[in-house]
Amino acid sequence: MPIHTHCRTAFAAVALAAAGVAHAGTYTVTTTADGGPGSLRQVIADLPPGEDNEIRFQPGGTGIIVLSVASDLPLLRGTSVLIEGQYNLGGIVVDGQSTSRLFFTGNVPTTVRNLTVRNGAGTFNAGCVQGGGAALTLDNVVVEGCRAGIGSANAYGGGVSGFGSLTVRRSIFRDNLAMAGTGGGNQSGGAIYYRGQVLIEDSLFIGNRVENGPNAFSDGGAAYFFESDVTVRRSRFIDNRVVAPVPGGSAAGGAIACRRGTCTVEASYFGGNDSAMVGGAVAQEEGALVLRNVVVQDTFDGYGGAVRVTGAGGQPATLTIDNSTFTDNAIPAWSGYGVHLDVGGNTTVLRIANSAFGAIEGSPACRLAGDAAGYAGPGFNRAIDDSCDAMLGSDSEQATVDQFGLGAPVFGGYVEAPQLAATSVLIDAGNPAVPMPGGDAGACLTLDANGHARPSDGNGDGLARCDIGAQEIRSPRLFGNGFET
């Protein structure tokens, strides 16, 4: 008999059976061995299909406990599965040794919590966690060094892939890779590839990448979402990239690429991401892109568009930006795209309001395709040049780098935001209307990127008015001449 603990009282079993509810069982991993009694592999193999199953770990030892697996783990079974690691000590690590896929949920609703999964390898899809259509939740999970595509001409979701519902909270995705292993083809989602309903909160994506193939597409250095309704909140995307494809291919979305559906990003930071072609930070093809309290900084891409939005194949796209900051983005040589923002054909700019488009390397800051529709409502934006004018609405103005006064990014509780100099033209320059919700069209958001309330009297004139960009200055300035020190 495998060594496991099946926790259930007789009374509860009778009561659940009488009510027609699935039984609940807890099964404990007691060894770091890859097989045999008490191993993770054996516990998964023994899961009953008709119960709400919970897997826990008690293999002994202190510090980081590593369970290495030499071949793909069995398919999870049950009416639901909870895989509960250890939050204390050093934690539990499940390691695929760069040869084996780790968890495959099939059609079982699955939650993975307080666990590190690393070095998983998927033939085609995810190397670490493969969803199968039911709800998948990752809570306080580290996904690192995982790869998709080791035995295929295509690769989707280096760390996690699937369809249905995905919820990610308080998790880290680091150094994952989507790269085909047999000649190369289509690659998407260095850390995540998903199709369905997606919520990502309070998470970090760093150093994930998509490597090129000789045709079609390479998209989403950190994440790719297809026909999905996606919400990302209070998350950070740093140094993710899409590596250059050979001639005839394409590359988009150094951090995030979305195609169709709605992609909403709120109170999040993009720093140092890179696409070989377009969308160095974010790329949206068809569907709707919404950015609120977002910072996009130090993005580098081959053609342009730190944020790139376009319709395609007769399908339109829309763009909405509120209280966001773009600065220090770059392209090596202007190729007709905008450095900060590139709006392609069959696209409508629904609103750009209270946002800053600062320093650039390359030119121009923005581009609006000839058959795209700009924004003419209340804007209250600031831009480094006049290339953004058709998109920025009324009460928008140009400003120099010095006038912007955007300093180094500082972590403010949720995400980084460039600090504002005391003399910045962004302070108390946003829409004076009552902040949303309930405010006029184009009004400021009620909170900034780090959860601080808007508006605040940032310049000390006795009038509370929101700042332009992702950060709201909270304390009144002692002096108006910039000599606060």
Q: Could you tell me if residue 327 is inside a domain?
A: yes
Q: Specify the DSSP element, H or E, that contains 51.
A: strand 51-57
Write down the residue that tokens 């796209």 correspond to. 317
DSSP string, 54-101: EEEE----SS-EEEE-SSPPPPP-SSEEEEE--SSTT-EEEE-TTT--
Q: Could you tell me if residue 277 is inside a domain?
A: yes
Give pLDDT, residue 334.
77
Retrieve residue 338's tokens. Answer: 């905008």
Q: Could you tell me if residue 14 is inside a domain?
A: no
Give pLDDT, residue 17.
40
Q: Which of 222, 217, 221, 270 is nearest to 246 (CA)?
A: 217
In this structure, are residues 305 and 322 in contact, taking their beta carbons and an 8 Å threshold? no
Q: Rounded to 5 degrees, what are φ and ψ at 74?
A: -65, 160
Q: Could you tell me if residue 465 is inside a domain?
A: no
Give pLDDT, residue 408.
95
- 275-281-283 Cα angle (round to 5): 85
Q: Rounded to 5 degrees, what are φ and ψ at 16?
A: -65, -40
Per-residue pLDDT of the chain (485 residues; tens, 9 = 90+): 333 333 333 333 333 444 445 678 999 999 999 999 999 999 999 999 999 999 999 988 778 999 999 999 999 999 999 999 986 656 999 999 999 999 999 999 999 999 999 999 999 899 999 998 899 999 999 999 999 999 888 999 999 999 999 999 999 999 999 998 876 678 999 999 999 999 999 999 999 999 876 566 789 999 999 999 999 999 999 999 998 766 667 899 999 999 999 999 999 999 999 999 999 999 999 999 999 999 999 999 888 899 999 999 889 999 999 999 999 999 987 778 999 999 999 999 999 999 999 999 998 999 999 999 999 999 999 999 999 999 999 999 999 999 999 999 999 999 999 999 999 999 999 999 999 888 889 999 999 999 999 999 999 999 999 999 999 997 654 444 444 44
Q: Could you tell me if residue 197 is inside a domain?
A: yes
In this structure, are residues 158 and 135 in contact, taking their beta carbons and an 8 Å threshold? no
- In sequence order, what E strands does 202-335 have? 204-206, 209-210, 218-219, 223-233, 236-238, 241-242, 251-252, 256-271, 274-275, 282-285, 287-297, 300-301, 307-310, 317-322, 325-327, 329-330
Residue 361 structural domain: 61-420
Number of domains in the chain: 1
- In sequence order, what E strands does 369-462 have? 382-383, 397-398, 406-411, 416-420
Give pLDDT, residue 479.
45
Retrieve residue 280's tokens. Answer: 């160095």
- For the entire predicted model, the pTM comes to 0.93
Q: Could you tell me if residue 443 is inside a domain?
A: no
Between CA 448 and CA 245 the distance in angstroms is 37
- In sequence order, what E strands does 323-372 have? 325-327, 329-330, 341-343, 347-353, 356-357, 360-361, 366-368
Q: Can you say whether the dihedral through the CA atoms of 150, 151, 154, 155 is positive or negative?
A: negative
Between CA 442 and CA 449 the distance in angstroms is 17
Q: Could you tell me if residue 163 is inside a domain?
A: yes
Q: Could you tell me if residue 366 is inside a domain?
A: yes
Give pLDDT, residue 224.
98
Instruction: Tell me the three state secondary structure of residue 390.
Output: helix
